Amino acid sequence: MSTSILYHAFGVRSCRYLRTSYKGGRMIFDIEPKHLNCPGCGARKSAKVPSERWRHLNTVSVGRHPVYLNVRIPRIHYSRCSNLDIA
């Protein structure tokens, strides 16, 4: 159900749904990207994730309840092209 809401109501695609939490009348969706690609060469399978960051995005409200997206943004490192960047 939550994946459908993310797709149809907020236009979120290519992300994996993790959980929903409710705090102080707010709805908070935690999501992460489905695919990890090297930003330099586009390689998909050999990308490694040494660290990550969380971004907190405010989106449109549902009724009178504010909605937030917490997005896990991995840091990608691929040894063949020696690229270290945030995807």
> Whole-angstrom Cα distance, residue 87 to residue 43?
12
pTM, full prediction: 0.75
Structural domain that includes position 67: 2-86
Q: Strand, helix or coil at 55?
A: strand
The total number of structural domains in the chain stands at: 1
β strands within 7-47, DSSP E: 15-23, 26-33
Q: Is the Cβ–Cβ distance between 15 and 59 less than 8 Å?
A: no
DSSP 8-class letter at 32: E
What is the pLDDT at residue 1? 58
Which positions of the chain have pLDDT values less than 70? 1, 39, 45-49, 77-79, 82-87
Strand pairing class (26-33; 65-78)? parallel
> Whole-angstrom Cα distance, residue 51 to residue 22?
27
